[in-house]
Amino acid sequence: MKVLRSVADARAFRAASANATIGLVPTMGALHAGHASLIERAVGENDLAVVSIFVNPTQFGPTEDFAAYPRDESADLAMCERLGATMVFAPSVGELYPAGDATRVQPGPVAARLEGAARPGHFAGVATVVTKLFAIVRPDVAYFGQKDFQQFKIISRLVEELKFGVQLRCIPTLREPDGLAMSSRNLRLNGSERKKAIILVQSLTYAKEAIEKLNWYAMRWKIETFHKILKSGCKAESAKLRTADRLTNLIAVFCIISWRIFWMTMMNRCCRQLSENYALTKIEMELLDNLINIKKSKLQDTLSNYLIKIAKLGGYLARASDPPPGNMVMWRGLSRLNDIQIGFNMAMKIVGN
């Protein structure tokens, strides 16, 4: 594994590898398992894997921890060699930012929010050093951690707008056993600070679990409601069918009717202003309009209005004091509407239009 420290040597390395694909993993050192996952991907997906180790001063604010940022180059180089990296580019600050260097890459509005708002100038420093690395190493693919997702989106915009022609990979975040995202700065946390650091991920985990449980309960409620509708209208025993196949076919038809009633009532719950065209055919609406008259209301031309008509066809009285239509009247009403439609279609064939 080569360790190069000058821009000239890094460019010479790239020139000598003109026909090879290069995967670049930009880092600030103090490598951990998260970095290792990026390096492994770069090694596995490219002819050559390059790791840059450079603590970039332009992305640190005046009161931030540039001087105290963890550094352990010997351990970093050992990890890179063990994982199969071909070259490590580890320049000095003076090599990338010689005296008088004043050019900075401004990443635009995407960098003004979230971390960018809390750390003015941070993402300009990130964009600048990444631009320098891309220009020096000229990688085919570059690998970044999902942990710094805003940074990844900024670099994606950078690559697109400056036409670098570099493919980007966003690799999932690896976490410590307590759930804290792996980061070089974790080394600087004491016991009390570490406990505070995991509060956010614990809260997100609890929220995710709560939402998952709510979704499961909602699905269970829907399943139970569907079977309640099926039980309300399915009188398979009264059909007196003599074979299992006929009974199976009948229950299949009943399941379709049950699902339709369930689906229409659910849509009505979610959106009271939903158009009737969403759930009913033109013939069904015309038949209901001719069969059932109800007082005009704000819901006149909505699915809700037509569900009341179906329920009234099934015996629902629709008095002001009555609760919403139950499963039985909806089942009876839809069954009667279906029978009427069959009779209507037969009559039309006999007498014509």
CATH number at residue 241: 1.10.740.10
Q: Are the beta carbons of 136 and 145 closer than 8 angstroms?
A: no
User: What per-residue confidence (pLDDT) applies to 145?
Assistant: 95
Q: Is residue 197 part of a domain?
A: no
Nearest to 130 by CA among 26, 49, 46, 53: 26
Q: Is residue 250 part of a domain?
A: yes
Q: Are residues 229 and 267 in the same domain?
A: yes
> Kindly report the CA angle at 144 between 138 and 148, in degrees rounded to 5?
135
User: What per-residue confidence (pLDDT) applies to 159?
Assistant: 97
Min mean pLDDT across 69-83, 129-143, 213-227, 295-309 is at 295-309
Q: Is residue 300 part of a domain?
A: yes
Is residue 51 helix, strand or coil?
Answer: strand
Q: Are residues 105 and 163 in the same domain?
A: yes
Q: What is the pLDDT of residues 278-293, one digit of tens each?
A: 889 999 999 998 998 8
Residues whose CB falls within 8 Å of the CB of residue 207, separated by 6 or more in sequence, listed in order? none
**How far is it, in rounded angstroms, from Cα 131 to Cα 151?**
13
Q: Are residues 33 and 181 in the same domain?
A: yes
CATH of the domain at 21: 3.40.50.620
pLDDT exceeds 80 at position 107: yes
The structure's pTM equals 0.67
User: What per-residue confidence (pLDDT) applies to 113?
Assistant: 93
Structural domain tally of the chain? Answer: 2
User: What per-residue confidence (pLDDT) applies to 198?
Assistant: 85
Q: What is the pLDDT of residues 30-45, one digit of tens each?
A: 999 999 999 999 999 9
Q: Are residues 170 and 220 in the same domain?
A: no
Q: Are the beta carbons of 259 and 316 closer than 8 angstroms?
A: no
Q: Are residues 183 and 80 in the same domain?
A: yes
Q: Are residues 157 and 16 in the same domain?
A: yes
**How far is it, in rounded angstroms, from Cα 265 to Cα 29?**
59
pLDDT exceeds 90 at position 117: yes
Q: Are residues 74 and 179 in the same domain?
A: yes
Q: Are residues 275 and 128 in the same domain?
A: no
Q: Is residue 212 part of a domain?
A: yes
User: What per-residue confidence (pLDDT) applies to 251?
Assistant: 86
Q: Are residues 217 and 185 in the same domain?
A: no
Last residue of a domain, one of 142, 160, 190: 190
Q: Is residue 198 part of a domain?
A: no
Q: Are residues 108 and 255 in the same domain?
A: no
More confident residue, 130 or 325: 130
pLDDT exceeds 90 at position 270: no
Nearest to 41 by CA among 3, 79, 87, 83: 83
Which residue of the set 32, 35, 122, 227 is catalytic? 35
User: What per-residue confidence (pLDDT) applies to 236?
Assistant: 66
For 205, the token pair is 């985990």
More confident residue, 273 or 93: 93
Last residue of a domain, one of 190, 219, 243: 190
Rounded to an integer, the average pLDDT of 101-114 is: 93
Q: Which amino acid is located at 160 in the chain?
A: E
Q: Are residues 260 and 328 in the same domain?
A: yes
Q: Are residues 210 and 175 in the same domain?
A: no
Q: Mark whether 35 is an active-site residue.
A: yes
Q: Is residue 21 part of a domain?
A: yes
pLDDT exceeds 70 at position 352: no
Rounded to an integer, the average pLDDT of 224-252 is: 81
- Print the domain residue range for 326: 206-351
From first CA to last CA, the distance across the chain in angstroms is: 86
pLDDT exceeds 70 at position 297: no
Give start and end residues of each alpha helix (H) in the chain: 7-16, 33-45, 73-83, 93-96, 115-118, 122-137, 149-162, 191-197, 199-233, 244-270, 282-291, 303-313, 327-351
Rounded to an integer, the average pLDDT of 159-180 is: 93
Q: Is residue 257 part of a domain?
A: yes
Burial 234-267 (b: 16+ CB within 10 A, else e): beeeeeeeeeeeeeeeebeebeebbeebbebbeb
Q: Is residue 201 part of a domain?
A: no
Last residue of a domain, one of 163, 190, 217: 190
Q: What is the pLDDT of residues 54-64, one digit of tens each?
A: 999 999 998 89
Q: How far is CA 223 from CA 136, 177, 185, 205, in A?
A: 60, 37, 48, 27
